[in-house]
Amino acid sequence: MPSTRTTSRILMLITFLAFVSIGFPDAVLGVAWPLMRITFDRPISSLGFILVASGAGYFASGVFAGRALERLGVGRLLALSTTLVTIGLYGYTFSPTFWPLLGAAILIGVGSGAVDAGLNFFASEHFSVTVMNWLHAFFGIGAMVGPFLMSGVFAAGGSWRIGYFIVSSLIAAMAITFWLTSDRWNEGGHAEAEAEAARISMRYVLGLPEVWLQICIFAVMCGIEASAGNWTATVMTGRFDASESQAGIWAGIFWGSMAVGRIALVPLSRGMDPARLVQICTWAILLGAFLTTRDPEGWYKTGLIVFGLGMAPMFPTLMSLTPQRLGSQVSLHAIGFQVSAATLGIVSIPSLGGILAERTSLVAIPWIMTIGAIVVIALEMTLRAGVNRKTAIA
C-alpha cells in the first residue's frame, strides 16, 4: 500500500492533469460555435440555449456539491462526474440536430459543476494559494490548448465534430484515471474533515452576508470572463474580418494569458496579501475590458491580454481565501454555491451579450465586460471592508 506522501504526490499530479482536462470543453465551444451554428442552421444567439442548458446542470450540481461530497467522497464524485462530462461531449460529437445538443449540455453541466466544486474544495483545503493558482493555470493551459486544437482541425480541413471527438477522448482518459484512484482521495483525515464540515446546514451558510458577497462576485466575475472566452472568436471574425483559424488562435491567446498570469503573477507577488492581489487585479480587469471597446484591432487584442492577465489570479485566489474567511465548515457549502453562482454568470452574461450584439453590434460584448468589471470592483471593496471589520472586532 503506498505511503501517505506518495499518495499525496499522485493526487497532486492527477489534480494538475484534471485542471488541464476541465479547461478543454469550456474554451472549445466558443471556437467551434461559428461553424456549429452553420451545421445546424442556427442564429448566433442560439449559443445561449446551450449555455443555459449546461448552466442549469452546473448550477444544480454546485448547489448540492456539499451533500454529494459527504455521501460519495471526493474520489468517487470526481470519477462519476467526469464520466458524465465524457458522455455529454460524445453527445456533442454525434448529435444529428441542434436540439439533442441541449441534453448533452445538461450532462456536461452536471458533471462539470461537481468536478469544479470537488477539485476546488480539495485544493483549497490542502494546497497553498500559490499552488492553487498554478492548478488554475493548468486549467488555463487546457483552455488555451482546446481552441488551438480545434483551430488545427479546421486548418487541416476537418470539421468541428472531429475536434470534439478528440476532446471527448481526452476527458474519457481522465474519467478512467479518477475511477482507478477513487479510493485514495479520502485517505488520512480528509474524509473526517469533510463529514464534520457537511454538518453545517445550507440555510445557515446562506444567512452569512460574506457568503452572498462572494456569490455575487463569482457570478459577475465569471460571467464577464466567459463573455471574453465564448465571444472572442465571433468578435474577431465579425468585427475585424479575421479567419476562423485566426479567431481561434486569439481565443486561445486569451485563455493562455490567464494561464501565464496564474503561473507568473502569484510568484512575482510573493509576500503580498492575497486580498491585496485580488484588489489590484480588479482594476486590471477594468482597464483590459475598456480597451476591448476601442475600434482599432490592436487595442482590442491588447485589452484582451490585459483582461486575461488581470482575471488570472481572481478565481483561484478567492477560492483559497474562502476557508480562511469563512472557516472549513462553512466553505464546503460556500465553495459549491460559488461554483453555482459562477455558472449563473457564465450563462446569463454571455447570453445577454449575444442578444445585445445581435440587436446592435458586436461592440456590445466588450461594453458588458466593462460594466461588469466596475460591479466586481464595488463588490470586492465591500467584501474586503466587511472581512477586515470582523477581523478587527475578533
CATH number reported for the structural domain that contains residue 81 in this entry: 1.20.1250.20
What pLDDT does residue 187 have?
A: 56
Answer for the pair 300, 363: CB distance below 8 angstroms, yes or no: no
CA 127 – CA 320 distance, rounded (Å): 8
Indicate the pTM of the whole model.
0.73
What pLDDT does residue 216 have?
A: 96
CA 104 – CA 44 distance, rounded (Å): 19
What pLDDT does residue 291 have?
A: 97
- Consecutive 10-residue averages of pLDDT for the chain (394 residues): 57 82 77 90 86 84 79 86 94 94 93 84 77 77 81 90 93 92 68 52 83 95 92 90 84 84 75 87 96 92 95 88 80 81 86 90 94 97 86 64
User: Where in the sequence is the domain holding 222, given as residue range(s)?
Assistant: 4-393
Number of domains into which the chain is organized: 1
